[in-house]
Structure 1
Amino acid sequence: MIDYEVFEREIEKGKIKNSYIFCGLDEELIKDGINVVIKKTLGVDTDDFNLIKIDGMKTNFDEIMNACETFPLMSDKKVVFVYRANFLRDKTDEASKKIYKSLKEYLSNMPPYTVLIMYYLFNDKREKANKNKKLISLDKSITVVHCDKLRRDAYIKKINDIFKERKKNIGKAELIYFSEKVQNNFDIIKREVDKLISYTIGRDINKEDINLLISNSGEEDVFDLVELIAQRKIESAMDVMREILYKSDQHMLIINNLERQFIRLYEIKTGLASGEKVQDFISKFKLPKFICEKLVSQSHRFSEKQLIELIKLCVKTEKNLKSSSIDKTMEMELLLINTLTVKK
């Protein structure tokens, strides 16, 4: 069993196996890997003659086997692509178990001219490739590629490749900023890249464009997180943080939003002290009235001194998160615990 980065390195060396199973949560990342194998096997101008697609939800073993056995047309190779191959899940019905059992026996006798590719999506983050008995058993005769979250450098590089594919340059600082702000899901990432490109036709992308176009879907979650910090309910705050991570798995995105929230509250706190009103914050932050009213209400829960210390904690945590040698979730939990030491 290999991860996506090992798979990419093998492809770069020209090592194409005769069968693959892709699995994970990010379907777009999985499809990218599959498309690379198809193009490397059949060429850039892929014709449908030697690419057979099968719906794994509706198929049976005979259909897969017959597709694999058919000779390629005017080519040395053909690709059989079984998508939504849910019969590979650990727990399935009897029909799926039958497909799996027959396929397992067949894999060692596959014709050399066929490249078989299958994939299925995990139900949630709790599903693990190395806990799936079917995948472990098949790993001896087929290459299983677990498409998990990429390491930071590989993640940023892949996002940069998306910009390059669309023939749009982006500066290094802007690329890193974008990668930390966007959700770690390549379907979402590609749509956000397309939005940025359409908005910045004829000029370079800057941070203001990124802030304007990429929505902070986790802002409500971060508001709740800050509210629990104010109430010193750290165990509940940890539950909320784990839920946010479950949805996005973006530690840096959370800490950036959390830091941003405390900075806003500090600016509101000092602004109120100097006579500013809600209307002033609406203009300043370009936020709806009801959100500014909520922020004003939340600012009353903290002192100026407390907010300064909380911002410092976030900055320290952000710096620590950029190190690849730490447990990022534990670092976030430590941040929440440390908020208890910040006095009003």
Structure 2
Amino acid sequence: MINYEVFEREIEKGNIKDSYIFCGLDEELIKDGINSIIKKTIGEDKDNLNLIKIDGMKTNFDEIMNACETFPLMSEKKVVFVYRANFLRDKSDEASNNIYKYINDYVSNLPPYTILIMYYLFNDKRERANKNKKINSLDKLITVVNCDKLRRDAYIKKISDIFKDKNKEIGKIELMYFSERVQNNFDIIKREIDKLISYTEGREIKKEDINLLISNTGEEDVFDLVELIAQRKIELAMDIMKDILHKSDQHMLIISNLERQFEKLYEIKIGLNEGKKIHDFMSQLKLPQFVCEKLVMQSHRFTEKQLSGIIKLCVNTEKNLKSSGLDKTMEMELLLINTLTVKK
């Protein structure tokens, strides 16, 4: 079993195997890997007759085998691509288990002209390829690519490559900011990049463009998290934080959102002391009335001193998260615990 980064290095060297299983949560990342094999072996033509795609949720073993046995047309190789091959799941129905059994017996006798590629998606982040008995059995016969989250450098490089493929330049600072702000899911990443390119046509991408276009899908979660911090219900706050991490697995994104939330509350707290009203905050923060009303209500739960202290905790946690070798989830939990020590 190899990870995605090892797989990419092998493809760059031209070391292509006769069969693959891809698995993970990020379907777009998986498809990118599969497309790199197709590109290297039979070319990029979408209508290529040597590319056979099979729906893994509707297929049977005979369909897969017949596709593998058919000779390629005017080519040395053909690719049989079985997508969403749910028969590879540990817990499957009888029909799926039968397909798996036949596949297990068949793959060692694949024709030399066939490259068989299958993938299936994890149900959630708790699922692990190395815990799947079917995958572990096939790992002796097929190259299994575990498409887990990329390391930071590889993640940023892949995002940079997407911009390059679309002939759009982005500065290093803006690239880093975009990488930290966007959700770690390449389907979402590609859509957000398309939005940025369309919006900034004819000019360079700026940080303000990223802030404007990338929606903060976790605003309600962050609001709830701050509410629990205000009520000093830290255990419940930890549960909320784990739920947010489960959705995005982006510690930097969460801490930056949390920090911005407390900064808004601090601005509002100062403004209220100066006699400002809701419409002033609407203009100042460029937010709709109902959002400003919610923020004003939430600001009443903290003192000015508390907000200042919690912002400092967020800044320190952000610095720690950028350091290698630290348990990022533990750092986030320590932040929540330390909010209890901030004096009013």
Is TM more than 0.5 here? Answer: yes
CA distance, structure 2, for counterparts of residue 327 and residue 68 of structure 1: 45
| 1:187-224: CA deviation from partner (whole Å, max 9, x where unpaired) | 11100000000000000000100011011110111011
Aligned position for 1:170: 170
1:294 maps to: 294
Secondary structure at the aligned position of 2:164 is classed as helix
Partner of 1:17 in structure 2? 17
Read off the aligned partner of 1:225 and give its amino acid letter: L
Taking only aligned residues, the RMSD between alpha carbons, in angstroms, comes to: 0.9
Question: Comparing 119-128 with 133-142, which one deviates more in the overlay?
Answer: 119-128
In structure 1, what is the Cα distance between the partners aligned to 2:159 and 2:11?
A: 18
Matches of 1:60 and 1:45, distance apart in 2: 27
Count of aligned positions: 344
Distance 1:170 1:121 in 2: 31
2:316 maps to which residue?
Answer: 316
1: distance between equivalents of 2:46 and 2:188?
26
2:220, 2:56 → 1: CA distance? 38
Q: What's 1:66 paired with?
A: 66
Give 1:234-245 correspondences, 5 Å limit.
234-245=234-245
Cα drift, residue 44 of structure 1 = 3.4
Q: Which amino acid aligns with 2:38?
A: I
Match of 2:140 in 1: 140
1:281 matched residue in structure 2: 281
Q: Report the Cα offset of residue 59 of structure 1.
A: 1.1
What is the CA deviation profile of residues 8-44 of structure 1, one whole-angstrom value per residue up to 9, with x for unaligned ones? 1111111111100011111111111110111111123
Cα deviation for residue 249 of structure 1 reads: 0.9
Give the 5 Å matches for 1:240-251: 240-251=240-251
Alpha-carbon distance in 2 for matches of 1:46, 1:111: 23
**What SS does structure 1 have at the residue aligned with 2:263?**
helix
Deviations along 1:255-311, one digit per CA (max 9) or x if unpaired, are 000000111111111111111111100011111111101111111111111111111
Matched to 1:43, the amino acid is G
Alpha-carbon separation, structure 2, partners of 1:13 and 1:47: 26
Secondary structure, in 3 states, of the residue corresponding to 2:49?
helix
What TM-score, normalized to structure 2? 0.98
Structure 2 SS opposite 1:48? coil
Runs of 4+ in 1 over 6 A off after TM superposition: none
Q: How does 1:327-338 map to 2 (within 5 A)?
A: 327-338=327-338
Give the TM-score of the pair, scaled to structure 1: 0.98
Q: Distance in 2 between the 1:207 and 1:199 partners?
A: 13
Where does residue 185 of structure 2 map in the other structure? Answer: 185
1:47 CA drift (Å): 4.5
Alignment of 1:1-344 (within 5 A): 1-45=1-45, 47-344=47-344
For 1:83, the aligned partner's letter is Y
Q: C-alpha separation between the residues in 1 aligned to 2:55 and 2:298?
A: 51
- Structure 2 regions of 5+ residues with no counterpart? none
- Whether the aligned pair in 2 keeps the contact of 1:39 and 1:46 (CA below 8 Å) is no
Mapped to 1, the partners of 2:58 and 2:43 lie a distance apart of 28
Q: Deviations over 1:115-157 (max 9, x none)?
A: 0000111111121111100000100010111111111111111
